Amino acid sequence: MRQKKSLAGEIFTLASIVCIICLLAPVATSALSCSIDLSKDSYDPGEELVAMVSIGSEDYANGSAIAAVLSYSIESLAGKSMILEKIQTISLRGERMIILKQPLSEDFPPGSYVFKAEAESSGSKYPFQKNFTVKGSSDNSIPIIAAAVILIALAAIVFLKRRGN
C-alpha cells in the first residue's frame, strides 16, 4: 500500500531534485584574466601605438562563449584628461589576444600617458593599464643646444684669430 505524501513533502522532494540538477549541470562563469602590453614604452608623434590585450575566461565548463565588453582609453597623466575612448563587445572561448592600433597624430602633445583598458562580463569589471610617454620637440633640445654651443665656439675661434692678425 502506497503512503500518501503531504504537500510540504512533495515540495521538499521537488526542491531537492532541482538543487541536485543545478549542482551537476555545467555552469559557465565569467571570471576573466586580463593583461596588456604595449609595443614600446615611448612613442613619437605620428607613430602608431600598438597594444596587445590578452583576455581569457578562467573557467568555463560547457565550452559556451562568454560575452564581454572591452573599453579602452588614453589619458594624460598630467591633467588626467581623456584623449581617446573606445568600446567594443567581444566573445570569449578560453583566451583571446586582441591587437589594438591607435595612430598618434603628428601634433600629439608630448608627455606621460596611461593606456587604460577594462573588460566587463556579468557585472564584474576587470581593469588593467600601462603607462607610456610621447616624445616631442622638447626632447630634441639637447642636439640643438649642442649645435649652438659648437657654433658659438667656432665663432669665438674665428673672432680671436682675426683679432690676433
Q: pTM value? A: 0.60
Neighbouring residues of 97: CB distance < 8 A, sequence distance ≥ 6: 52, 53, 54
Mean pLDDT, the chain, rounded, equals 76
**Element (DSSP H or E) covering residue 92:** strand 82-92
Tell me the pLDDT tens digit for each residue of 142-157.
666 777 778 888 887 8
For 44, half-sphere exposure in the C-beta direction (CA atoms, 13 angstrom radius) is 5
pLDDT given at position 126 = 87
Q: What is the pLDDT of residue 86?
A: 86
d(Cα 31, Cα 124) in Å, to the nearest integer? Answer: 8
Q: Set out the domains of the chain in order of their start, with CATH numbers.
A: 28-157 (2.60.40.1930)
Of the CA atoms within 13 Å of residue 60, those in its CB half-sphere come to 19
- Higher pLDDT, residue 21 or 82: 82
* Measured distance CA(66)–CA(43) in Å, rounded: 34
Percent of the chain with pLDDT over 70: 73
> Hey, what's the cell of 84?
581617446
- Residue-wise pLDDT for 49-94, tens only, equals 999 988 887 655 556 778 888 888 888 888 777 777 888 888 887 7
pLDDT score for 4: 53
